[in-house]
Amino acid sequence: MVGLGNPGPEYDGTRHNAGFMAVDLLARKLGGFTGWRRKGVVVRGEGRADGQRISLVKPQTYMNRSGEAFRALLAEGWFASEILVVFDDVYLPLGSIRLRTSGGTGGHQGLESIREEIGTTEFPRLRIGVGPAPPSADLPDFVLAQFDEEERARLPEVLEGAACAAYDAAASGLGKAMNRWNRFGLDPVEE
């Protein structure tokens, strides 16, 4: 599982780092999490979800070069179709999450970089709504800005939902997680 974001304290708490924040929260939920360790262009750690081993990765290449980290994972023997990419989406309202088996880039710089590096967008993804951006907003400025006070109050619930959806995708499979989370968002259907 790869959470997209920008490294460095100046980007902490920005909309573009929602992927990092969700993966950080998931790391705290996993059993036996090994802690974050630098390996090449990523930091990574491992843990377990319902007996399933999960690797968590945060590229250290900045958002617009996320593909370099993704390519490095493929060189290690990972398969793109098995890597859940977790990222911010300005086209979804704050509080929405969507799991997909694949899709386009929607202009997202991290996804664009991955597509450029590996030649496909055929990989699963978890979109975390951080929008909508105001119609007059400059998108780079919007995603690199901190969440406002009202948004920060909702952020723990949003990240909790995203981390739980990612956990479900790893533990139960993407299909089950999509059925559970895509219909009801932060209030998943109970089985």
Share of the chain above pLDDT 90, in %: 91
- pLDDT over 70 (residue 186): no
pLDDT one-digit tens code per residue, 156-183: 999 999 999 999 999 999 999 999 998 6
Residue ranges of domains in the chain: 2-181
What integer pLDDT is reported at residue 34 of this predicted model? 94
64 is in an annotated binding site: yes
**Taking residues 146-155, what's their average pLDDT?**
95
Token digits for 134?
A: 């105001």
Q: Which of 16, 65, 98, 180 is catalytic?
A: 16
16 has catalytic annotation? yes
pLDDT one-digit tens code per residue, 37-59: 999 999 999 999 888 899 999 99
Share of the chain above pLDDT 70, in %: 95
Q: How far apart are CA 177 and CA 126, in angstroms?
A: 11
Task: Look up residue 90 and give its DSSP letter.
Answer: E
What integer pLDDT is reported at residue 189 of this predicted model? 52
Count Cα neighbours of 118 within 13 Å in the Cβ-side half-sphere: 25
11 is in an annotated binding site: yes
Report the CATH number of the 2-181 domain: 3.40.50.1470
- pLDDT over 60 (residue 62): yes
What does DSSP say about strands 37-39 and 97-100: parallel, antiparallel, or unpaired? unpaired
What integer pLDDT is reported at residue 50 of this predicted model? 86
Q: How far apart are CA 14 and CA 142, in angstroms?
A: 9
91 is in an annotated binding site: no
What integer pLDDT is reported at residue 31 of this predicted model? 87
- pLDDT over 80 (residue 185): no
The model carries a pTM of 0.95
